[in-house]
Every structure is written in structure tokens, then in C-alpha cells.
Amino acid sequence: MNVSTAPPALAGKRILIAKPGLDGHDAGAKVIALALRDAGADIIYTGLRKTPDYIARMAVDEDVHAVGLSILSGSHNELVNATATRLAELGASEIKIFVGGTIPVADHPGLRAAGAAEIFSAEMPLDAIVRRITELLQ
Amino acid sequence: MNTRRDAVSTDLSPRVPSHPPTLAVSTPSGLDVPAIVTAEMASHSAVGEPGRSPFTRSIFTDGYRGRLWTFRQYSGFGSAQETNERYHFLLRQGATGLSVALDLPTQCGYDPDDSMSSGEVGKVGVSVSTLADAELLFRGIDLGAISTSFTINGTAAILYAMYLAVADKTGVPRKKLTGTIQNDILKEYVARGTWIFPVRPSMRLIADTILFSTKETPRFNPISIAGAHVRDAGATAVEEMGYTLANGLAYVTELVGRGADPNAFAQRLSFFFYVHMDLFEETAKFRAGRRLWAKLLAEKFGVTDPRALMFRFGVVCGGSSLTAAQPYNNIVRVAIENMAAVLGGAQSIFTCAYDEAFQIPTEFSAELAVRTQQIVAYESGVGRTVDPLGGSYYVEWLTDRMEEEIRKVIRDIDDYGGVERAIEEGYIQARVAQRAYLRKQRRESGEDTVVGENHFRNDSTKHDFGEMFRMNPNTTSNVLARLAEVRRSRDAGRVSTALAALEVATLNPQENVMPYLIECCRAYATVGEMVERLKRNWGEFKEPIRL
């Protein structure tokens, strides 16, 4: 499989890849950013250690279609909730949220209820993740 | 009925590659290996004798006969009280060293009651915000009798100061203390991300700890220059060793700039690596790294004392080589990796628990990880004679090839303008991210075989990982209550005097901040308060965003 040969499914889409909280493991976030960029998306990456407030403001300022939150510290429940709440407060509920990292299956329903449109994990294929995000942004 | 949700979850599940697994003819670092390696292909002349520089075979003449490697299990979660109980459990099981995992607020310099710590207290390690936590963490443990390793970087100097303050208070002479603080900030900028200050003041702080430790705690390792996290983030075995040695040389340069003698301080430098599944590449990586470090110190800094040329290293087995699919397969992987670390001559080894890829290990899996080390040590016989693979055509050839390739990585960074510039401009970070992307693609395509995950899958056993470890839901409130109590009961005057003196010390680059940090700890100043004072004059690292 080679993602770079895929048609530019995400051409014209703007996506913010964000690292909320204190977790410094950014390999997954960067891999997803590279895969989405290869699929034609405009990628903005926040860098590490951003608050949900910062991320929500950046998403609005940059006029993105989706925000990907990468969390491997176990603090996903608090951080996803806070980001979704902040986006709603800024009147930007239409921005889709997807989540990646080490998220136990038991926490999925809560995250979806909080506003996560999809939850990805490291063993999922990149092309399937790209396809699913493309679907979400149609 | 095929609902949308069903369709999506099928779509996202890992797929079995269309072709059968193949036996790779190149190593995971991309070195092509001939079917037959002959005696002529390896430069046996460079092998030398164990215990003699450049130490290809071992830093000791007697290998593990003199002293076995340390069995060190990484552990820490929740409150100091809970972690203290786990330490007593591990020591009863036969662990000979402790390894402290700290939570992210402690690692990044925020107090548990800081808004930045929200949701993170006690999550990936234990929360230590004042000396009161450190005292509780080591209660009932004789610090003069065990060695303690702290995975701490941005706030390493502060945790080291706390450990010294606990030893002082419990009457353990500083000269008896053994253990390690990771204290390797350069790799934090590349992977793992617990940096606080910019590169320059961070290098000064590290030099302060090493200079202080050389005098005050001569048996303690004030730095563990680590490749493990960069490897985990995507780097190959060659790059792991190359980046780590380049960082090591940068620390030596810094200390020499402070007027220190490398023949003395280089004896206290230690290293830390991952070991993955390719048994011979990993063994050769350690042998090549050990030889190259001795050569580089001699070439670049004129180091002559053989003890200063000794490349001492710890190893962690597991990490990104472990899978969530069929987690019991990880027990086998860890055993093979443990062998590679021993064949490479490691001084201390952590074995990951089989469930560590996705949760905090349970007592059952943590005990099994210690048992693995004991089986390798006492039943397998691999440690019976020094460097048992020495002289193997393949291993000597591969050691030579690894050394050549590691030198290329170091030269590439030199050509870029050195480690500091390469980090400040995000050059190494971008290289590692590209590697991670490539590795993910190779794993998905089935080009790299991961048994049970891509090839030889059995989906019915996918989520079978025995009992789950449960976090104590009251951890955060307990930690916050303790901190509030410390803030209330401490001598506020002593705290503000100590913090003010620390701030003044940061302005003079020739002053060592360690004594000021120790006084802050004794006064029960918090980690967040100390970091805040250091930031006032030093500022914060500005992360380069480069993909």
C-alpha cells in the first residue's frame, strides 16, 4: 500500500492536527498529518502541549473542516470534552473532531457522546483512516 | 442489517496482507545481509579483548561473572503512597533496582493544582510535587541499599535535588547513593516532548547536575543519554545509536566548555536504548556503539582514562515492538529482546510487561516480566562467558557495518550544523517522523512481518489480555489534598527566600544551581514554583513546527 499514490481525496480540505494536554508522544500525530497531506489536505499542526482553548481558537482562526486530537496519556475523556465544549462556545460545532491514540474501547461511547465523530487507533490502516475522514468531511 | 457503524468498523480493522510473509534479507535498519558471511568479510583485528578499549566485546574482563545486570522494572502510578506499595511488592519479588515513572505534570514542571495539569495527575506515573511526596514514595526503602532510576528530563535537576534531600533527611550518606536520572533533554526535543527551557539554558542545567554529581554523589549516574524514545518514535537501530552518540558528544562539549576534565566526568555518563526483535542487529548495535563511543572520546577530546571510555548502558525491551493483537505473543518477544540485550552486554535491563503496550501492567504481568529476566539470567546460560558471539563472522561483520552507518548519521548532523541547530530547526524531528510514516506503511503492507498483527492473525484472541489494571479514582483528589496540606503547613518565609536565591543563581552561568534547588526542596517548595523561577530568566523552548 502506498498512500502517496492515492487520488487527492482531501483536496481543498483544511485539517488541524493537535496535541492537547502534556503528552509528548507526537509520532502518531505526525504520521496521520503526513498521510492526510499526501491525500491532498492542507495540514496545520499545533505542536505539543496545547490547551483545549488554544486548539479550539486555532481551529476557528484557521477555518478548518476538522480537528484531529492525538492523546496517548490516558487523559482523553477530559481533553476531548473540553475541546468540543470550547468549539461549541465559539460557534464552531460544525468542525468535525476525530481522536487518535491509546483509547480504551470502553471510553468510546463517552467520547462519541462528547462530540468525537471517529476514534482511531495505531493498528488501523492509514488508507482506511484517510477514507473515513474523507467520508466525514463530505 | 448492515448499519453505518458496522460498515465503518469493518473498514478500519487491520487487514491481512495479500502475500505470505517473507524472510527479509536486509536488517530493519536496511543493511543488506549476504546469505553467507565469510571470515574475510569481518575485520577481526578491531575486535580486541574484553575490558580493553575500545571495548567491542565488553567493558569488563569477566562479563557478567563479576556482576549480573540489574533487573530494573519501570513502575509508578497514581499517588506516592500507591507507588510505594508497588515498590515494596517488586523488591519482595527479587527486583534489585527501582525505576520511577513520573506523571506528566511532574515531568513538564506543573503542580497538580495548575490548570495545565487538568486530567493528567497520576496518569502515566506517580505525582511528585514536593519533598513530602518524595519522602512518602521511598518510605521503608533504604536508599543506601538499592539503586533508583528516574525517567525524568525537563525537571531532572529538581527530582535529583529531592532524592538528595530524602537521603540527607534519612541519614544516608550522599556518597552511597546509586541510581540514574535520565536528564537527557536533547532527545526530549526530538521525541517524548517533556522539554521546558530553550536548548542553551537546558544544557547549562544538565552541566550543573553532572558537575555537582561528580563531586557529591560519585556512584550516581547524573545522565542517561537515551536513544530509546527516538527509536520508539520511528528511528532505525542505526539512527537510534547515531543520534544518541551525537547528543552524548554535545554534552561532553558543553562540560569541557565549563572547564571540566572529560577523563573524570565521562566516567559518569551512561546510556539507554531500546532493543527490538532483530537479535543480531540489536546485539551488533550495542557492540558497535560501545566501540565507537570509546573511539570518538579519544579522537575528539583526547580522553585516555579507560574508565572514562567505558560505554555503560541500560536497555528496555518492548515498546513499539509489542502488539495489542494477541498480547501473550509479547512474552516471547520480550524474552528474545532480553537475550539480545544480554548478548550486547547491557548493564541494566527493563523487561516490559506483555500488556504494557496498552495499559499499566498488573501485578501478574509485572511479575512475569521479572521472571523472564531470571530465566534468561539463570537458566539460559547466555551470561556464562563474556561476549559469547565475539568472533562470529556474521556478528563481527554486522558490528563493522553498523559502526560505518552510525558514523554517517553523526556526520550528517555535523554537516547540518550540529545537534543544537538540527533540533532548534526541527531537522531531526522531521526525519524521525518520516521514518515513522515509512515504518507504518511497511507494517501495513506486510513487508515487515508482525506475527499475530498482520500475518498469522487470529481475530478471536485479539482482545484477550487477562485482568485490567484499574486506576484509583480518588488519586487526583488525594494528591490535591496532600499538596494543599503541604502549602498550608510549610514555612512560607523559608520558601520565598529559597526561591528568590534560586532565581538569582540562574543569572550567573558559572554558578551551579543544584545547592539552591536542594534548599528549595528542603523548604517544601513545589516543582511548579521552582520551574516558574527558572523560566523567568531562561524562557521556554519554542517548538519548531516542521513536518
Q: How confident is the model at residue B449 (pLDDT cuts 50, 70, 90)?
A: very high
- Show the cell assigned to B191: 521525541
The answer to whether residue B10 scores a pLDDT higher than 50 is no
What's the mean pLDDT in B218-225? Answer: 96
CA separation for the pair B404, B502 (Å, rounded)? 45
> Which CATH number belongs to the domain containing residue A40 in this structure?
3.40.50.280
Whether residue B151 contacts residue B523, with contact meaning beta carbons closer than 8 Å, is answered with: no
- Residue A112 to residues A97, A99, A135, B60: CA-CA distances in angstroms? 10, 10, 17, 57
- Show the cell assigned to B187: 532527545
Q: How confident is the model at residue B1 (pLDDT cuts 50, 70, 90)?
A: very low
Contact across the interface for B12 and A120, Cβ inside 8 Å: yes
Contact across the interface for A123 and B14, Cβ inside 8 Å: yes
The answer to whether residue B106 scores a pLDDT higher than 60 is yes
Higher pLDDT, B19 or A33: A33
* A128 touching chain B per CB within 8 A: yes
Name B278's bridge partners: none
B39-457: CATH topology is TIM Barrel (3.20.20)
Residue A1, in any domain of the structure: no
Whether residue B464 contacts residue B493, with contact meaning beta carbons closer than 8 Å, is answered with: no
Q: Which residues of B355-385 are buried (b: 16+ CB within 10 A; e: fewer)?
A: bbbbbbbbeebbbbbbebbeebbeeeebbee
Q: What is the pLDDT of residues B301-324, one digit of tens each?
A: 999 999 999 999 999 997 788 988
Q: How confident is the model at residue B467 (pLDDT cuts 50, 70, 90)?
A: low
Q: Parse chain B into domains and list their residue ranges.
A: 39-457
Contact across the interface for B108 and A22, Cβ inside 8 Å: yes
The answer to whether residue B408 scores a pLDDT higher than 80 is yes
Instruction: Give the containing element (helix H, strand E) for B338.
Output: helix B329-343
Report the predicted TM-score, pTM, of the whole model to 2 decimal places. Answer: 0.93
Mean pLDDT is lowest, of B110-124, B298-312, B396-410, for: B110-124
The answer to whether residue B363 scores a pLDDT higher than 50 is yes
The answer to whether residue B466 scores a pLDDT higher than 60 is no
The answer to whether residue A11 scores a pLDDT higher than 90 is yes
The answer to whether residue B463 scores a pLDDT higher than 80 is no
* B19 touching chain A per CB within 8 A: no
Distance from CA of A92 to the nearest CA of B (A): 23
B360: which DSSP letter? P
Residue B8: predicted pLDDT: 39
Distance from CA of A80 to the nearest CA of B (A): 11
Residue B474: predicted pLDDT: 87
* A98 touching chain B per CB within 8 A: no
Q: What is the pLDDT of residues A69-94, one digit of tens each?
A: 999 888 899 999 999 999 999 999 99
Question: What is the interface pTM, i.e. ipTM, of the complex?
Answer: 0.91
Residue B96: predicted pLDDT: 75
Taking CA–CA distances from B121, the nearest residue in chain A reads A75
What's the mean pLDDT in B65-85? Answer: 82
* B244 touching chain A per CB within 8 A: no
Contact across the interface for A22 and B436, Cβ inside 8 Å: no
* B7 touching chain A per CB within 8 A: no
Residue B470: predicted pLDDT: 60
Instruction: Give the containing element (helix H, strand E) for B98.
Output: strand B97-100
Q: How confident is the model at residue B241 (pLDDT cuts 50, 70, 90)?
A: very high
Total domains in chain A come to 1
Pairing label, strands B348-351, B312-317: parallel
Residue A104, in any domain of the structure: yes
- Name the residue facing A30 among B110, B232, B433 (closest C-beta): B433
Distance from CA of B24 to the nearest CA of A (A): 18
